[in-house]
């Protein structure tokens, strides 16, 4: 049987596809290549270009392959952009996911792993944040994912859909083959490294007056390979008949923007000039995971808990791919 991976040409999706293929799983990728790269996919993986919410296309894929489960990555993932273009996020992330789930249920597929986010929590009341922390998203990106979590719960009750919603904290790092290459790029670590490479003149630091130890925003950075490993474990959980779950994925340790810049200076040996700028609308001050549930239930154990080693893998990939992936002629 096969696993349908939507967004499999994207950053976290491609690393997960790589791992699934290494483990002998049959993988089918559906991706619109809006922000993903054909070159990020391993050779020989069946690829369909299109929207995750395209009912006819998903029905065709289900007819052509014996689908066991779906891992749904395909989504837009920029907090700032979601504040400026909320409908784009609700249509792309929420509506498309609902249509995908509907098509999968029609095709008899009832195992679903969902890329959710710590942005469902909003400004935290307690840190580290456990899964039962109130969900009050601070931006449309967080809401767009939260809506899908609600849909999944309803479909579990009504239709026996079993799901694992993985609430990622801040994905970072690279494997030898796959790295972070977005256009535009707004994430912190790739932009810090773009400055180190001389591709950007300076790093804007959004906000100096957050209620954190140095005034800059704190995030929990988690290696993309550790995220991929959690997806595989979630799949095995569902395959073995496990019930639906919401799980945080993070290291449980927070780093401020200034600490990320400092660590990147040490790793790269480059200067990395910065410039203070206003807070970015929609940014919470402090997001750090309590990820004990994923460890306990899935036996998940991050292999790259250190920020320096996460940045090192991203830097190695950047040096090997200074212009990112080869551009897809079809884009
Ligand atoms: N950030 C920054 N400069 C940048 C990009 C990001 O100061 O060029 C900050 C951002 O405001 C946030 C943190 O770095 O506080 C992490 O942002 P990112 O976009 O990487 O992830 P998010 O937490 O928004 O998903």
d(CA 313, CA 199): 19
Which residue, chain included where needed, has tokens 């923007």?
Answer: 257
Residue 60 belongs to some domain of the structure = yes
pLDDT (0 to 100) of residue 331: 53
Q: Does residue 80 line the site of ligand 1, with CB under 6 A?
A: no
pLDDT (0 to 100) of residue 328: 67
Q: Give me the chain's average pLDDT, please.
A: 97
The count of structural domains within the chain is 1
Q: Going by CA atoms, what residue is nearest to atom 3 of ligand 1?
A: 205
Residue 306 belongs to some domain of the structure = no
d(CA 269, CA 246): 39
143 sits in which H/E element: helix 140-159
Question: Whole-model pTM?
Answer: 0.97
pLDDT (0 to 100) of residue 296: 98
Annotation says 141 is catalytic: yes
pLDDT (0 to 100) of residue 329: 59
Average pLDDT over residues 143-168: 98
Q: Does residue 206 line the site of ligand 1, with CB under 6 A?
A: yes
Q: Does residue 72 line the site of ligand 1, with CB under 6 A?
A: no
4 sits in which H/E element: strand 2-6
pLDDT (0 to 100) of residue 2: 98
pLDDT band at 183 (very low <50, low <70, confident <90, very high): confident
Residue 284 belongs to some domain of the structure = no
CATH of the domain at 157: 3.40.50.720
Q: Measuring CA to CA, how many Å separate 252 from each of 91, 232, 248?
A: 32, 21, 10
- Cα(242) to ligand 1 centroid in Å equals 35
Return the axis-axis angle of helices 307-320 and 188-196, rounded to nearest 10°: 60
Atom of ligand 1 nearest to the CA of 279: 11
d(CA 311, CA 173): 6
Pocket test for ligand 1, best of 189, 206, 221 (most atoms within 8 A of CB): 206
CB 8 within 8 A of CB 35: no
The predicted-structure confidence for 257-304, as pLDDT tens digits, reads as follows 999 999 999 999 999 999 999 999 999 999 999 999 999 999 999 999
Structural domain including 72 reads 2-169+223-250
């Amino acid at each position: 049987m096969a696993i349908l991976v939507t967004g499999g040409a994207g950053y976290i999706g491609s690393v997960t596809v790589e791992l699934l293929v290494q483990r002998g799983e049959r993988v089918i990728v559906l991706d619109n290549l809006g922000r993903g790269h054909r070159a990020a996919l391993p050779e020989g993986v069946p690829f369909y270009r299109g929207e995750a919410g395209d009912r006819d296309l998903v029905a065709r894929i289900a007819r052509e392959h014996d689908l066991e489960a779906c891992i749904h990555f395909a989504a837009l993932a920029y907090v700032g952009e979601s504040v400026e273009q909320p409908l784009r996020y609700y249509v792309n992330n929420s509506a498309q996911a609902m249509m995908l789930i509907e098509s999968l249920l029609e095709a008899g597929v009832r195992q679903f792993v969902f890329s959710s986010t710590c942005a469902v929590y909003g400004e935290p009341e307690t840190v580290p944040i456990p899964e039962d922390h109130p969900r009050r998203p601070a931006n449309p990106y967080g809401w767009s994912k939260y809506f899908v979590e609600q849909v999944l719960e309803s479909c579990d009750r009504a239709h026996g859909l079993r799901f694992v919603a993985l609430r990622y904290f801040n994905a970072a790092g690279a494997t030898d083959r796959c790295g972070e290459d977005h256009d535009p790029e707004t994430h912190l670590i790739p932009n810090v490294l773009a400055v180190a490479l001389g591709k950007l003149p300076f790093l804007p630091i959004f906000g100096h007056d957050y209620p954190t130890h140095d005034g800059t925003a704190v995030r929990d950075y988690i290696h993309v390979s550790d995220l991929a490993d959690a997806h595989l474990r979630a799949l095995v959980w569902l395959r073995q008949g496990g019930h639906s779950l919401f799980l945080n994925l993070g290291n449980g340790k927070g780093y401020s923007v200034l600490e990320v810049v400092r660590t990147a200076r040490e790793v790269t040996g480059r200067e990395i000039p910065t410039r203070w700028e206003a807070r970015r609308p929609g940014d919470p001050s402090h997001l750090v995971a309590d990820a004990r549930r994923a460890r306990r239930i899935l036996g998940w154990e991050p292999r790259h808990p250190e920020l320096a080693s996460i940045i090192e893998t991203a830097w190695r990939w950047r040096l090997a791919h200074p212009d990112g992936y080869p551009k897809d002629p079809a884009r």
